[in-house]
A and B are shown apart, each in its own frame.
Chain A
Amino acid sequence: MHASLKPKSAETRWQRALRSLLYGQDVNRNVKAKARLGLAIVAFAAIYGVIALRLAMFATASDGHGARRGVSQDPVATARPDILDRNGQILATDVKTPSLFAEPRKIIDVDEAVELLTGVLPDLDASEVRERLSSKRGFVWLRREITSSQQHEIHRLGIPGVGFLTENKRVYPNGPLVSHEIGHVNIDNQGIAGIEKWLDGQGLAALHMAGLATDRLPRPVALALDLRVQYALRQELVEARAKFKAIAAAGVIADVNTGEIVALVSEPDYDPNNPREANDPTRINRITTGVYEMGSTFKALTLAMALDSGRISLNSSFDARLPLRYGKRKINDFHAQKRILTVPEIFTYSSNIGAARMAVSLGVDYHKAFLKKLGQLDRLRTELPESAEPLVPKHWGELSTATIAFGHGLSVAPLQAVMGISALVNGGRLVPTTFLKRDQAAADKLAIRVIKPETADKMRYLMRLNVEKGTATRANVAGYYVGGKTGTSEKVVGGRYSKSKTKVLTSFTAIMPADKPRYLLLIMIDEPQGLPETKGLATSGWNAVPVGAKVIERVAPLLGIPPRFDLPKADQMLTVSAKETR
């Protein structure tokens, strides 16, 4: 203050006059200067603040800009996780392919563009392309999934308004080998069948909607399937179908202890790389989407029910001398013995009369409850979205029980029967079927006890006995101790059983090894024809059983079942297990 006052007194007259002229009289310049200084400080502070803010914004926005540029190059179609088999072999994977698009608003000369594009892509429909390019839309696809050489050629044409986007394309390196299980995807890489569809249901579709599933590497999904086993099974079924001139052949191999499906084949199948084939109704997955009367295979369930009830033992016997009559219906035996049969004989001679009497003696409600407990009356839900509801008779009377006892009158999906029979032999625990890899501990948590362990021992004995001296002797592969049950059911044609006896569905259910089963094999052949070498017969023992034997011989080493040659006969097997359980 003092310093500023001093020069004021020292001002000359001229200066004073100029000051009064410029600022007016009685104005304290010092006060004014201070105010101005303050204003200047605020103004500069504000400017620097703005600059600092902008700097901060640039620093963050430049990153955002880069990310945006990255996204625009990202594939449009969803990235999908790889699907692997249980040994890590690739069943389905993604590769990147360029796709051609156009922005019609930016195209200057439509005719020229169409001409140039059809020059490179001759199979492009010119009129359709012209129509698309003439539209007022901002974005149109011209061709999805072109080759990189085509991309280069089109790039060199230099047409304005035409560009490329990289997309994920799903490839199935194994072709038709695992078609029914993994399903396939549409052009936008969305699953429309099989495990692919299930994957979308697991939140992949939601991720795609949110734009997150673009270029990450999702974790691969490991199936329970073993590609080598699948190949062996499919090859044998293809051969069998050709040999017996059947309309279809199907097979499943399941792990009885964990419920895993190790192989699933339904021939004819399709190539998932060409999904159009899948629409052909003859190529459906007969194991999960078809429902069939399983025939004598169902007798295994009937006998398990009878033995588990405690009212019928292996030494009980049933009268099979005369056909069983229900009104006009008559139940007959195919391998008629016309005598009183014991329980094991009913199984090995596959006596319809015996099985029917057995089920009827236990009552309709008991039968129904038992089948319900084994999951035969409800739709079986697995990872595969395709499933079929079993056809259960509306009025389940004594006749229904009698016929269902030997596998007629109730149609189930074959996979359902596999699950039920697995429970009969694995010690009596029903394990839900899965297509994904599962370990024993996880399976034990899900398992429900349905029959007593002793009953399971008896079922194993019966299955083995049937291979040693029953209807399935051709399945006695040396060293693998196979047990099994055959089934031949007459097909329903136009609501009635065919009279000709040529339209049959034969099946063979095998367990291996029978003393401590690990795997269950189901072979089904639809309408096999009799051959001279099968004496013109088309029953299961002549077609499904030998095919099953060939499959077992090929597959058992792959599944790690050691061959053993010091195994007892079936009769001794039961006395051993009976001693153990006593």
Chain B
Amino acid sequence: MRLLNIMVIGALILAASFVYKIKFDSTLQVERVGKLASELRRERNAIAILRAEWARLDTPGRIEGLASRHLALRPIVSTQFDSFDRLPDRPPVIVQPPSADPIGAMIAPPDATGSVPAPPAAR
């Protein structure tokens, strides 16, 4: 009986300390969530400002001004376009023959056929 009571009391203390710990942890977590949320908000605001700034810098009028000042480009005209079908064929690849007289090299050997015997080897 007494043992049971002591056990119950011990369990109670354990449970209480456990609940306290959970509560404490959750408080910490809530604080962290709040901090992260405010950080997120700050970052999001910064992103919004950067996006607006980028859009302002990217506006066509500004780009054109910069292009005309720094680049030697002119507006495109319709004759500068062409289609892929009208692309000329790839120029043939010219392979240099291995010897100076490729035809001669082709007909010179074999010197012997079935009816003509091989000439005596030149000395």
A interface list, Cβ under 8 A from B: 62-63, 66, 70, 89-90, 93-96, 166, 171, 173-175, 177, 215, 217, 227-228, 231-232, 235, 477-480, 553-554, 556-557, 562-563
Point out the residue from B45, B60, B61, B78 that lies within 8 Å of A553, measured CB to CB.
Answer: B78
Kindly report which residue of chain B lies nearest to residue A74, judged by CB atoms. B41
> Which residues 57-75 of B have a CB within 8 angstroms of A?
58-61, 64, 75
Kindly report which residue of chain A lies nearest to residue B60, judged by CB atoms. A231
Point out the residue from B48, B58, B78, B81 that lies within 8 Å of A89, measured CB to CB.
Answer: B58
The reply to whether B52 and A171 form a contact with Cβ atoms under 8 Å apart is yes
Evaluate whether A215 and B41 lie within 8 angstroms (CB atoms) in the complex, with A173-B56, A227-B60 already known. yes
Point out the residue from B44, B55, B59 that lies within 8 Å of A93, measured CB to CB.
Answer: B55
The reply to whether B55 and A173 form a contact with Cβ atoms under 8 Å apart is yes
Evaluate whether A553 and B77 lie within 8 angstroms (CB atoms) in the complex, with A215-B41, A228-B60 already known. yes
Point out the residue from A63, A173, A232 that lies within 8 Å of B59, measured CB to CB.
Answer: A173
Q: Tell me the smallest distance from the CB of A216 to a CB of chain B, in Å.
A: 11
Complex Cα gap A171–B49 (Å): 10
Q: Please encode chain B, from 35 to 58, with 1 for each CB lying within 8 Å of some chain A CB and 0 for all others.
A: 001000100110011011111101
B interface list, Cβ under 8 A from A: 30, 34, 37, 41, 44-45, 48-49, 51-56, 58-61, 64, 75-79, 81, 83
Question: When A and B form their complex, what is the total count of cross-chain residue pairs whose Cβ atoms lie within 8 Å?
Answer: 72
Point out the residue from B41, B51, B52, B76 that lies within 8 Å of A557, measured CB to CB.
Answer: B76
Given contacts A175-B61, A553-B77, 5 further A-B contacts (CB under 8 A): A174-B55, A174-B59, A174-B61, A478-B79, A553-B75
Point out the residue from A89, A171, A477, A554 that lies within 8 Å of B75, measured CB to CB.
Answer: A554
Q: Which of B34, B48, B49, B79 has the most CB of A within 10 A?
A: B48
Complex Cα gap A174–B81 (Å): 30
Point out the residue from B30, B49, B78 that lies within 8 Å of A478, measured CB to CB.
Answer: B78
Kindly list the 10 A-B residue pairs having the minimum CB-CB distance in the complex, ordered from nearest.
A479-B78, A173-B55, A231-B60, A563-B78, A90-B55, A173-B56, A96-B45, A563-B81, A174-B59, A171-B52
Point out the residue from A62, A66, A96, A480 that lies within 8 Å of B78, measured CB to CB.
Answer: A480
Q: Tell me the smallest distance from the CB of A185 to a CB of chain B, in Å.
A: 15
The reply to whether A93 and B52 form a contact with Cβ atoms under 8 Å apart is yes
Complex Cα gap A553–B81 (Å): 12
Q: Tell me the smallest distance from the CB of B35 to a CB of chain A, in Å.
A: 11
Q: Tell me the smallest distance from the CB of A507 to a CB of chain B, in Å.
A: 24
Q: Tell me the smallest distance from the CB of A217 to a CB of chain B, in Å.
A: 8
Q: Provide the residues of chain B in CB contact with A557, threshold 8 Å.
A: 76, 78, 81
The reply to whether A95 and B78 form a contact with Cβ atoms under 8 Å apart is no
Kindly report which residue of chain A lies nearest to residue B45, judged by CB atoms. A96
The reply to whether A70 and B37 form a contact with Cβ atoms under 8 Å apart is yes
Kindly report which residue of chain A lies nearest to residue B83, judged by CB atoms. A562
Point out the residue from B30, B37, B49, B81 that lies within 8 Å of A62, measured CB to CB.
Answer: B30
The reply to whether B30 and A66 form a contact with Cβ atoms under 8 Å apart is yes
Q: Provide the residues of chain A in CB contact with B75, threshold 8 Å.
A: 553-554
Q: Tell me the smallest distance from the CB of A68 to a CB of chain B, in Å.
A: 12
Q: Provide the residues of chain A in CB contact with B34, threshold 8 Å.
A: 66, 70
